[in-house]
C-alpha cells in the first residue's frame, strides 16, 4: 500500500499519517521530520535546509528528492509507505512517478481544511517554524507550489478528497473508508 498525504500545512497530515501507517503496517515517511533530524544532527543537508525551513520556503527539489529516494529504497519500505509532506512540487511528483511507475501510488489523500483553522492549528503546535510570519508564508508557498498537485493526481484518478475539518477520529475513519482499509 503506497499512500501520499496531501494538504496544506496544519491540515493534520502528520497525525493521520502516523495512524494510517500503524493500521496498514508500513513506514510513515515524513520529509519534514527527516529534514528536522538533519538540522539537529548538523549534517551538510541540515545546514543547507535550516534557513530555508525557518522562512517557511521549500528546500530545493534535488536535495529533497535524493533524501526521499534513499529512504524508500530501504527494506522496510518494500511493502509500501505513507508519504507525509512529499511531493510538494510538480517536479517532486514527477520524480516519484519516474521511480514508482505511473500506477505505483495507490491513493493520494487530500485533506481539506478552512484557512483560518489551519493558521490556528499551526500557531497552537509551538514548532520553531510556526511563528505567524512563517505560517503565513508556508500557506502562500503551499497555494503556489503544492496545490497544483491536486489537479495532477486527480488527472491520474487516485485523488481521495477528505473533509479534514472533523475530529481526528472522524478524519481517520473517513480516510480508511476512502482507501478501502477496514479498521
Could you tell me the smallest distance in angstroms from the CB atom of residue 59 to ligand AMP?
Answer: 4
Interior CA angle at 55 toward 51 and 59, to 5°? 65
How many other C-beta atoms are found inside a 10 Å radius of the C-beta of residue 52? 14
Phi-psi region of 7 (alpha: psi -120 to 50; beta: other; left: phi over 0): left
Could you tell me the smallest distance in angstroms from the CB atom of residue 64 to ligand AMP?
Answer: 4
Indicate whether 1 belongs to the interface with ligand AMP (CB under 6 A).
Answer: no
Query: Which of residues 89 and 174 has its CB atom nearest to ligand AMP in the complex?
Result: 89
Query: Which of residues 42 and 180 has its CB atom nearest to ligand AMP in the complex?
Result: 42
151 burial type by CB count under 10 A (0-12 exposed, 13-18 middle, 19+ buried): exposed
Q: Residues near 59 by Cβ (< 8 Å), separated by ≥ 6?
A: 35, 48, 49, 52, 53
Q: Which of 2, 4, 6, 9 is the binder for ligand AMP (CB under 6 A)?
A: 9
Q: Residues near 182 by Cβ (< 8 Å), separated by ≥ 6?
A: 176
Indicate whether 7 belongs to the interface with ligand AMP (CB under 6 A).
Answer: no
Could you tell me the smallest distance in angstroms from the CB atom of residue 165 to ligand AMP?
Answer: 19
Please say whether the beta carbons of 81 and 2 come within 8 A: yes
Could you tell me the smallest distance in angstroms from the CB atom of residue 183 to ligand AMP?
Answer: 25
The C-alpha atoms of residue 155 and residue 134 are separated, in whole angstroms, by: 31
Q: Which of 3, 35, 45, 96 is the binder for ligand AMP (CB under 6 A)?
A: 35
Q: Which of 7, 8, 12, 85 is the binder for ligand AMP (CB under 6 A)?
A: 85
Could you tell me the smallest distance in angstroms from the CB atom of residue 145 to ligand AMP?
Answer: 9
Indicate whether 72 belongs to the interface with ligand AMP (CB under 6 A).
Answer: no
Binding region for ligand AMP (CB under 6 A): 9, 31-32, 35, 52-53, 56-59, 64, 85-86, 88, 92, 138
Amino acid at each position: 500500500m503506497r499512500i501520499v498525504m496531501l494538504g496544506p500545512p496544519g491540515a493534520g497530515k502528520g497525525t493521520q499519517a502516523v495512524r494510517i501507517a500503524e493500521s496498514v503496517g508500513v513506514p510513515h515517511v515524513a520529509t519534514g521530520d527527516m529534514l528536522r533530524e538533519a538540522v539537529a544532527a548538523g549534517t551538510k543537508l541540515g545546514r543547507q535546509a535550516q534557513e530555508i525551513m525557518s522562512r517557511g520556503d521549500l528546500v530545493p527539489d534535488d536535495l529533497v528528492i535524493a533524501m526521499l529516494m534513499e529512504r524508500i529504497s530501504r527494506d522496510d519500505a518494500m511493502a509500501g509507505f505513507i508519504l507525509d509532506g512529499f511531493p510538494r512540487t510538480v517536479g517532486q511528483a514527477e520524480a516519484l512517478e519516474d521511480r514508482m511507475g505511473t500506477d505505483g501510488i495507490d491513493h493520494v489523500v487530500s485533506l481539506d481544511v478552512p484557512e483560518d483553522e489551519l493558521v490556528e492549528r499551526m500557531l497552537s503546535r509551538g514548532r520553531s517554524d510556526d511563528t505567524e510570519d512563517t505560517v503565513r508564508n508556508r500557506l502562500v508557498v503551499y497555494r503556489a507550489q503544492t496545490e497544483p498537485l491536486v489537479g495532477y493526481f486527480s488527472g491520474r484518478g487516485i485523488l481521495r478528497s477528505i473533509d479534514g475539518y472533523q475530529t481526528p477520529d472522524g478524519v481517520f475513519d473517513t480516510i480508511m473508508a476512502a482507501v478501502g482499509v477496514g479498521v
